[in-house]
Structure 1
């Protein structure tokens, strides 16, 4: 199967997995708690989105050259993804924080006005959606280094 020999695809997938795995020990050093749910979470250091798109672009550049249309497409896609991670998604996370606080304040007000049973399955919005620019930078750096390192092995 040809898809199993697609180096850019493998580089991108491996970059995602490695970036997500790196989040667990980094969080442990900061909090002294092991949180395996970070493997499937969004946001945090390093950005797996940035790692994936830069690994993809680097692998495409290695295989097809910097002057290829494929590299142009992957580079523009990567720029859009990284811009979105530091812009729209990060601000959506800020909005989620504010909305969660508003919901908590509203519920507290209702409890004070009358005894209102608190719902057991109350859902909060996910607040860690996007990335700080430094998280995107290190995700991008991880993706580039990963592709350059993997190419001699599996490229």
Structure 2
């Protein structure tokens, strides 16, 4: 999940950004016959780290509230 959040989806966003630039240059001011691609897909490294820390804190809190059965 971390790899997907940080790598694959973010790269897909970069690709979408470059494809949108190519479309703009190709049609040079004329209406583009296709909707623009969504460019913000992945998470930044800071967001991924925040998700890891949040998941760890939630896990520790749940473990403290509901300890495992003996």
Q: TM-score, normalised by structure 1?
A: 0.36
Greater relative contact order, per chain length (Cα 8 Å cut-off, separation 6+): 2
CA RMSD of aligned residues (A): 2.4
Which position in structure 2 is the counterpart of 1:149? 61
- Quick check: which one's helix share is greater? 1
Matched length: 66
Runs of 4+ aligned structure 1 residues displaced above 3 Å come to none
1:52-99 deviation digits (Å, cap 9, x = unpaired): xxxxxxxxxxxxxxxxxxxxxxxxxxxxx2122222221111111010
Q: Separation in 2 of the partners of 1:123 and 1:150?
A: 44
Q: Separation in 1 of the partners of 2:48 and 2:9?
A: 12
Which position in structure 1 is the counterpart of 2:2? 82
**SS of the residue aligned with 1:99?**
helix
* Deviation of the 1:133 alpha carbon: 1.8
Q: Separation in 1 of the partners of 2:22 and 2:10?
A: 19
Which position in structure 2 is the counterpart of 1:25? none
Instruction: Write the mapping of 1:33-44 to structure 2, written as runs, cut at 5 A.
Output: none
Any gaps of 5 or more consecutive residues in structure 1? 1-80, 112-117
Q: Separation in 2 of the partners of 1:95 and 1:103?
A: 12
Q: TM-score, normalised by structure 2?
A: 0.71
Q: Separation in 1 of the partners of 2:62 and 2:36?
A: 40
* Deviation of the 1:100 alpha carbon: 0.9
Which of 116, 128, 131 is matched with 2:43 structurally?
131
